[in-house]
């Protein structure tokens, strides 16, 4: 029968006569004056200024409470009148499993309690292996520590020196004088990141949106940074992070499309090609915490709604398909928004007939310079449909075809709408338009676009003939 590992309780004795001593209180953080600069692609710069009491000559100094996701090769320590000889990052943290793994070959005490009588018995046991379970030698017999309903605790005589209660950087310094002086520790870390989240309340009758922007800060680094001066950087810096980046999946392309890139300079601090968003006050960045801070609050920026439909190639749809609902706005100063927008998710709300804001869709935008025109797809329209149909396809030669397309657009709404009709996939072959019932505009080599007015409770038809050469 397959044995299951028992979740054991740990008793760490301070003396042989007091093996059941209570768990000590966790010491406060050893961090000093901490500054954290966080980027959007799992890179953070930690700068920690803490006082060090050093002797003369070669001295070893432990620096606990560094990030558990530290990149050791990026560590820099600056101390007056001292030079680094060697540094080590001790990342094997104290835990029940690591303590048992370190005890292989050692002898521990098993404390068993009889559930019927409450009587406790103690046995010495040698740990033979920890491979998917704990194998012990107890009194000349082999046992597997298993979850059989009987209370068992494993008591360890000591904590191995290689296990640390907190992530610790150990350095050996060559100090030319004794005394206490500040040391500046800086390093890059994973596990800290941020994104922008936007709440947009759209008033269709007035043609405006109210936008709130929130910084969503996440910490999964395994370490809490207390009273930290925090700076957020909008933009992705190049980061060579070994094999970790080699298999990183590509982010899906945002569906919020910048139809025209802006040319306005935002009134924010910049660092090179990046915008900076400092948090106004020092804050605690707790491990396994998500924190939100407001950075944008705009009322009455101009916006409009519309519809868009894209046909993937010159093919027929078996039934009418929904057009996408699209919110269009500009983040220019003249339009009322007037700010650069870091990449993030925009959640759109519209008031219902009772005046209550209701969620109508969300999508991502990429880093958007000020003055840009943005088209944000928020979902599929219920009442606006499009059906593309191949009316005729004629082979004119071994590598040449002529295709007659008909697009039927219907609108069940009580008001007229305009649909951006896109015929995509034209760059797969050499394709040109021979004739069309409405004038289109070539968006790029692969797509042509019609702006099609569709009357209230009515339909519109667009026809076009394409010449394709393979």
- 246 membership: H or E segment, kind and range: helix 243-246
Q: What is the pLDDT of residue 182?
A: 93
pTM score, two decimals? 0.70
Q: What is the pLDDT of residue 9?
A: 36
Confidence of residue 324 (pLDDT cuts 50, 70, 90): very high
Confidence of residue 109 (pLDDT cuts 50, 70, 90): confident
Residues 6+ apart with CB under 8 A from 10: 96, 99, 153, 154, 155, 156
Rounded Cα distance between 420 and 448, Å, is 10
Rounded Cα distance between 385 and 383, Å, is 6
Q: Which residue in 140, 135, 148, 124 sits closest to 7, CA to CA? A: 148
Choose between 256 and 320: higher pLDDT.
Answer: 320
DSSP assignment of 92-138, as one string? -B--HHHHHHHTTTSEEEEEEE-TTT--EEEEEEEEEEESSSEEEEE
Residues 6+ apart with CB under 8 A from 470: 399, 400, 401, 429, 430
Confidence of residue 178 (pLDDT cuts 50, 70, 90): very high
CA 137, 143, 147, 150 torsion: positive or negative? Answer: negative
Q: Which residues on adjacent β-strands are paired with residue 90?
A: 168
C-beta separation of 298 from 338 below 8 A? yes
Q: What is the mean pLDDT of residues 307-336?
A: 94
Rounded Cα distance between 59 and 121, Å, is 46
Rounded Cα distance between 390 and 147, Å, is 67
Q: What is the mean pLDDT of residues 149-172?
A: 75
CATH number for region 305-339+367-469:
2.60.40
Q: Which of 25-29, 130-134, 250-254 has the highest mean pLDDT?
A: 130-134
Q: Where are the domains of the chain?
A: 9-24+94-155, 33-93+164-189, 305-339+367-469
Q: What is the pLDDT of residue 93?
A: 62
Q: What is the pLDDT of residue 162?
A: 67
- 69, pLDDT greater than 50: yes
- 136, pLDDT greater than 80: yes
Region of 95 (left: φ > 0; alpha: ψ -120 to 50; beta: rest) is: beta
Query: Residues of the chain with pLDDT > 90: what percent?
Result: 47
Q: Report residue 433 as tokens.
A: 């338009």
- 236, pLDDT greater than 90: no
- Range in 121-125, 440-444, 458-462 with the lowest mean pLDDT: 121-125
- 17, pLDDT greater than 60: no
Query: Residues of the chain with pLDDT > 70: what percent?
Result: 86
- 150, pLDDT greater than 70: no
pLDDT digits (tens, 9 = 90+) for 33-51: 999 999 988 899 999 999 9
């Amino acid at each position: 029968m397959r044995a299951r590992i028992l979740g054991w309780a740990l008793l760490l004795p301070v003396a042989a006569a007091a093996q059941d001593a209570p768990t000590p209180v966790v010491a406060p953080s050893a961090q000093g004056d901490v500054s954290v600069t966080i980027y959007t692609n799992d890179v953070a710069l930690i700068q920690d200024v803490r006082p060090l009491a050093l002797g003369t000559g070669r001295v070893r100094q432990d620096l606990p409470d560094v990030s558990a996701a530290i990149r050791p090769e990026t560590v820099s320590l600056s101390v007056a009148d001292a030079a680094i000889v060697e540094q080590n990052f001790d990342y094997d943290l104290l835990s029940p499993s690591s303590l048992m793994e370190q005890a292989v070959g050692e002898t521990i005490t098993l404390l068993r309690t009889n559930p019927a009588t409450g009587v406790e018995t103690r046995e010495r046991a040698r740990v033979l292996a920890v491979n998917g379970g704990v194998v012990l030698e107890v009194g000349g017999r082999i046992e597997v520590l298993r979850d059989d309903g009987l209370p068992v605790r494993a008591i360890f005589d000591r904590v191995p020196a290689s296990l640390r209660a907190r992530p610790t950087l150990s350095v050996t310094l060559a100090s030319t004088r004794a005394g206490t002086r500040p040391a500046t520790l800086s390093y890059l870390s994973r596990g800290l990141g941020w994104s922008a989240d936007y709440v947009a309340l759209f008033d269709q009758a007035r043609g405006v949106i109210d936008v709130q922007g929130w910084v969503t800060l996440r910490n999964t680094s395994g370490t809490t940074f207390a009273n930290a001066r925090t700076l957020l950087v909008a933009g992705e810096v190049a980061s060579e992070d070994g094999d970790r980046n080699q298999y990183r999946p590509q982010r899906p392309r945002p569906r919020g499309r910048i139809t025209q890139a802006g040319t306005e300079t935002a009134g924010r601090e910049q660092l090179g090609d990046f915008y900076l968003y400092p948090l106004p006050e020092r804050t605690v960045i707790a491990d396994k915490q998500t924190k939100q801070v407001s950075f944008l609050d705009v009322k009455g920026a101009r916006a409009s709604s519309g519809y868009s439909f894209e046909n993937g190639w010159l093919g027929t749809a078996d039934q009418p398909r929904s057009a996408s609902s699209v919110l269009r706005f500009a983040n220019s100063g003249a339009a009322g928004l007037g700010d650069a927008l870091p990449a993030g998710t925009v959640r759109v709300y519209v008031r219902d007939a009772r005046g209550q804001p209701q969620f109508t869709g969300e999508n991502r935008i990429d880093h958007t310079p000020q003055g840009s025109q943005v088209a944000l797809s928020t979902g599929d329209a219920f009442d606006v449909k499009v059906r593309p149909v191949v009316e005729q396809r004629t082979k004119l030669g071994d590598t040449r075809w002529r295709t007659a397309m008909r697009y039927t657009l219907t609108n069940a709404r009580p008001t007229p709408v305009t649909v951006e009709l896109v015929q995509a996939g034209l760059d797969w072959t050499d394709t040109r338009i021979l004739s069309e019932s409405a004038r289109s505009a070539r968006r790029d080599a692969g797509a042509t676009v019609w702006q099609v007015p569709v009357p209230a409770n009515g339909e519109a038809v667009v026809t076009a003939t394409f010449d394709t050469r393979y």
